Amino acid sequence: MAVTNVARGISLTSTKSIPLSTAQFLVLKKQRLNPSTKGKSKEDVVNIVKDLCGIQYDPLPVIAQAQYLTLWNRIQGFRQNWLDSLLYEERRLIEFMLMRQTLNIVAAEELPYYYQGTRSVARAGWIQSVIDKKEDEKSIEILQKLKERGEVSPKDFHYAAFRPLFYSGKIFIARREKGVFRMPYYRLFSKYFFDLNLDSVDEATARRYVVLKTLSAYGVSPSRHIAYWIGYKVGETEDILQELEKEGTVTRVRIEGLRGLHWIGTEDLNKLEANTEREDFVALLTLMDNLTRDRRWLQQLFNYTFEVEYFRKKGMKWHVNILHNNEFLGFINPKIDRPRKLFIIKDVVLKRQLEDEEWNRVLDRIKELASFHNAETIKVTKTESAEVQKALRKHGFSKEEKGELLSSLN
């Protein structure tokens, strides 16, 4: 007797099943983390941002800002000025309040879809109450100043004063100051994107577009994860996916060992290889990375999660999670001392002991991350594990008087 999902009328026994490892490698491939899928040039920055359904901008400068590290993990030889140029000079990318009511970077040509596709998210949250103030006295004053000078910044008005005009698409972030905190400068959207109409796409079409883009960015996903990434409710996400299913664009699969049904694009399912060839790589992913952003989904698919301490004022851990192939090994808690060119690792936490070759791969990647920050030395200030201390010394770290471990990059 077939087991059915009564609410949706779906036969679970008739749904195709795929191995967990196959699902994991599909996700890693779609996330552009496998070596064969990585970018190699500045041009690939735009393509990867498109493929990932945007990336989140994050202002915290504990180490390089999260948006740069998201791309560093996916583009060989990535440079921060590649992203800055595409955002603030060529304007092929743009910062906008979109998915999850957070600041996202998306391709400018796709902005009308993302903008209309997240209007329901704005209406259901706190952003709409801010947008409603776009014609208040302070907003009118900002617009007048823009007509006079062409550009305004928090030097002219309080940060919060720009939100009604920014969230409604009247102004945009035209550039940011160089340095650690990257203060934004605003200009009129219509003056620089005169051929880009945010109302050129209807909301229903845009919502389908964003749901499909999100699914494509991950390859295979439950409804809840897609809803989480965008900021939708699960029910409305399911409704859109069912429409796409009727058209033959998406279908449902089961992942061996996991509960529930997952969605997958029919093209991706048809190309799916049962025996996925392994590609050896290490990625160092911040808590804002597209792969790790939804920790509940991460736990389900990769059996890994971590605590978020983003708003802790003292003793905050900035998790940079270590992914080796399809296994999360643990995390490092780093900080960059820019004046001293010192990449500091305040702790190394691993789920299990690593083999020598795994240590080599992980430490090589950490050294590449430190070099990306223009560091000359790596310092490990603390680790509670004697095994980790022993392994670090074995792989070239020297012990100092205070118990700190150092490794020179020169």
Interatomic CA distance for residues 379 and 367, integer angstroms: 11
Residues 6 or more apart in contact with residue 175 via CB below 8 angstroms:
88, 184, 185
Q: Is the domain of 16 the same as that of 93? A: no
Interatomic CA distance for residues 237 and 10, integer angstroms: 17
Q: Is the domain of 307 the same as that of 392? A: yes
In a domain, 311, yes or no: yes
Q: The domain spanning residue 212 has which CATH number?
A: 1.10.10.10
Which range marks the domain in which residue 264 is found? Answer: 4-26+202-271
In a domain, 39, yes or no: no
Q: Alpha carbon of 260 to those of 15, 144, 255, 293, 315: distances in Å? A: 11, 54, 8, 21, 38
In a domain, 35, yes or no: no
Q: Is the domain of 181 the same as that of 223? A: no
Kindly state the tokens that stand for 380: 């490990």
**At which of 138, 163, 192 does a domain end?**
192
Q: Is the domain of 130 the same as that of 210? A: no
Interatomic CA distance for residues 408 and 356, integer angstroms: 20
Res 6: pLDDT? 36
Q: Alpha carbon of 122 to those of 46, 132, 167, 230, 234: distances in Å? A: 26, 11, 9, 11, 16
Interatomic CA distance for residues 139 and 305, integer angstroms: 42
Q: What is the pLDDT along the chain (410 residues), one digit of tens a residue?
A: 333 343 444 444 568 999 999 999 999 999 999 999 999 999 999 999 999 999 999 998 899 999 999 999 999 999 999 999 999 999 999 999 999 999 999 999 999 999 999 999 999 888 888 888 888 999 999 999 999 999 999 999 999 999 999 999 999 999 999 887 899 999 999 999 999 999 999 999 999 999 999 999 999 999 999 999 999 999 999 999 999 999 999 999 999 999 999 999 999 999 886 555 678 999 999 999 999 999 999 999 999 999 887 666 677 788 999 999 999 999 999 999 999 999 999 999 999 999 999 999 999 999 999 999 999 999 998 777 888 999 999 999 998 767 789 999 98
Q: Is the domain of 20 the same as that of 126? A: no
**At which of 223, 245, 271 does a domain end?**
271
Interatomic CA distance for residues 194 and 191, integer angstroms: 6
Please state the φ and ψ torsions of residue 303, each to the nearest 5 degrees: 55, 45
Kindly state the tokens that stand for 95: 């910062």
**At which of 271, 292, 324 does a domain end?**
271
Q: Is the domain of 21 the same as that of 55? A: no
In a domain, 36, yes or no: no
In a domain, 37, yes or no: no
Interatomic CA distance for residues 351 and 329, integer angstroms: 6
Three-state DSSP at 144 gives helix
Packing angle between helix 223-230 and helix 295-302, nearest 10 degrees?
Answer: 150
Q: Is the domain of 303 the same as that of 337? A: yes
Q: Is the domain of 151 the same as that of 174? A: yes
Q: Is the domain of 51 the same as that of 174? A: yes
Interatomic CA distance for residues 197 and 109, integer angstroms: 10
Please state the φ and ψ torsions of residue 223, each to the nearest 5 degrees: -55, -40
Res 311: pLDDT? 64
Res 276: pLDDT? 59
In a domain, 228, yes or no: yes
Res 258: pLDDT? 97
In a domain, 180, yes or no: yes
pLDDT tens, position by position, 155-207? 999 999 999 999 999 999 999 998 878 999 999 999 999 999 999 999 999 99
Q: Is the domain of 94 the same as that of 74? A: yes
Question: How many angstroms from the chain centroid is the CA of residue 167?
Answer: 20
Res 126: pLDDT? 87
Res 386: pLDDT? 86
Q: How many domains does the chain have?
A: 3
Three-state DSSP at 330 gives strand
Q: The domain spanning residue 397 has which CATH number?
A: 3.40.630.30
Interatomic CA distance for residues 384 and 330, integer angstroms: 14
Q: Is the domain of 180 the same as that of 220? A: no
* pTM (two decimals): 0.93
Q: Is the domain of 48 the same as that of 187? A: yes
Kindly state the tokens that stand for 195: 């051929």
In a domain, 294, yes or no: yes
